[in-house]
Amino acid sequence: MDTPYLSILQDLLRHGTLKSDRTGTGTYSLFGVSYRHDLATGFPLLTTKKLHVRSILYELLWFLRGDTNIRYLQENGVTIWDEWATSSGELGPVYGAQWRSWRNPDGTLTDQIQTLLDSLRTNPDSRRHIINAWNVSFLPDQLKSPIQNALNGRMSLPPCHILYQFYIADRKLSCMLTQRSGDWFLGIPYNCASAAFLTHMIAQQLGLWPGEIVHSIGDAHLYLNHMNQARMQLTRTPRQQPQLMIKRQPDTLFDYHFEDFEIVGYNPYPHIAAPIAV
């Protein structure tokens, strides 16, 4: 994970285009980058800086609950969504709602996760094993603040990781994650690890081995206030990847708990603090 990640980080510093952005911070940006990680070689947590695994995993479990209120996250010590929530903790119909309760034109709801699992079991060679979060009906009004959008029943923020496609070959389950936008220093390491957790979980439920993560990003960017942190990270030599151990197999994908997961052999360099662009 570190090697392709650091290579693109270096490309952003050397060849990125200076661009403005919604937050007013400014970025160096590249369009259309991708990398692959074979899960057989280890779990894709960066070793050149420590990642907060608790936030990554609890956020994924929160998505799978279909939840869109930050209360569950806060109760479990995760604050990564706090800046965009209303005073009552609402975010509007963000990822959890789209994954578990996609609203159809006739008013019915589609559980994309359950549909995906059913499809993987009954038609493994299908090319339609997809979870999509880009629901145009609920995208935020760009003229309103995140909180105003949430209060009006729209997403507080548009989804960045918009599409997951799964693929079965040789008894292995792989996932291609497509993002429209990726904060390279803070967001991308979390997104890749989250996709890997999800792939391991689904593979276990289906009796398959984890395959590859293929990660494709449209606008990959490094915020201007992350430059010094990026240069520091690039001085560090990657260490051996950790392994993921899932301690039990729950009855369904929706019955996993944080305590079911153990990261073995994670020995990263210290965390590098960086401000989040709001």
Where in the sequence numbering do the catalytic residues fall? 160
Residue bearing tokens 């990640």:
5
Cβ-in-10-Å burial (0-12, 13-18, 19+) of 226 comes to buried
Distance CA 140, CA 41 (A): 39
d(CA 31, CA 123): 34
- Exposed/middle/buried for residue 2 (C-beta within 10 Å: 0-12, 13-18, 19+): buried
Neighbours of 12 (CB within 10 A): 23
Residues contacting residue 111 through CB under 8 Å, at least 6 positions apart: 100, 101, 102
The span from the CA of 195 to the CA of 193, in Å, is: 5
